[in-house]
Amino acid sequence: MYKKIIIQLLLLAILFGIILSVFLLYFKEEKNQKKVSVKKNDIINIKIEKETGTLIEDINYSFSDRSGNYYKLFSKLGKIDIQNSDKMFMTDVKALIYLKDSPAIKIVSKYANYNKIDHETNFFVNVELTHLIHKATSENLDISFNNNKASMYKNIVYNKPGTQLIADRLEIDLITKNTKIFMDNKSEKIKMINYK
């Protein structure tokens, strides 16, 4: 009788061992990888790194305001700030701004800092802004949807067919779509080159 009980317990232990092995092998996710839904239908891979924050690949954020303006932000890689999870550092960034009744404004940069709460974005390093026939390059571009302004600065080169302007700052009002280009030092003048 004891032999039967020992054999049954041994078979039961083997069965539990097989079930546990199958579960660990096929159903348990890796500790370093999770799937998170940032927006409906947008699933991104997350890798947890101990002291540096959360790395996210293939980021896609979108936002629209009451006025009918629409903002899309794409990045190959991002890192969530450990101390403020609403802030994210991004690399290889592209953005599209669709202002009401206006064609899209395209922005490309090497890096950006993005705030998920107010959607403020600070683009930096090799920033390029394109709208219709207009193109501007600089080292920095800050977009504030709270203030409805975009401000481009540091080594600005603005081009449109036949004309090139070199200045310190370019500002865009996102409501009126008015643009100002100027020098920080009022005694200096904008450099203008005409091409024919």
What is the domain-level CATH number for residue 187? 2.60.450.10
DSSP for residue 1: -
Residue 130 has pLDDT above 90, yes or no: yes
**What is the structure's pLDDT at 183?**
92
Provide the 8-state DSSP code for 27: I
Task: Calculate mean pLDDT across residues 95-107.
Answer: 90
**Whether the predicted model's global pTM rises above the 0.75 cut:** no
Regarding whether 100 and 11 lie in a shared domain, the answer is no
Residues 56 and 122 in one domain: yes
Q: Which of 44-48, 117-121, 161-165 has the lowest mean pLDDT?
A: 44-48
pLDDT of residue 37: 37
**Count of domains forming the chain:** 2
83 and 2 in one domain? no
Same-domain pairing of 16 and 48: no
Same domain for 157 and 112: yes
pLDDT reading at 48 higher than 90 = no
Asked if residues 132 and 116 have their Cβ atoms less than 8 Å apart, the reply is no
Tell me if residue 2 falls in helix, strand or coil: helix
The pLDDT, as a whole number, for residue 149 is 92
- Together in a domain, 26 and 39: no
Work out the pLDDT band at 13, boundaries 50, 70, 90.
confident
Q: What is the mean pLDDT of the chain?
A: 83
Residue 116 domain boundaries: 32-194
The pLDDT > 90 percentage for the chain reads: 45
| Cα distance between the two ends of the chain | 104
User: Is 73 a residue whose pLDDT tops 80?
Assistant: yes
**164 pLDDT above the threshold of 90:** yes
Residues 88, 16 share a domain? no
Same domain assignment for residues 117 and 139 = yes
Asked whether residue 89 falls in the same domain as residue 73, the answer is yes
Write the pLDDT tens digit of every residue in 135-148.
Answer: 999 999 999 988 88
**Domain match, 2 and 98 both:** no
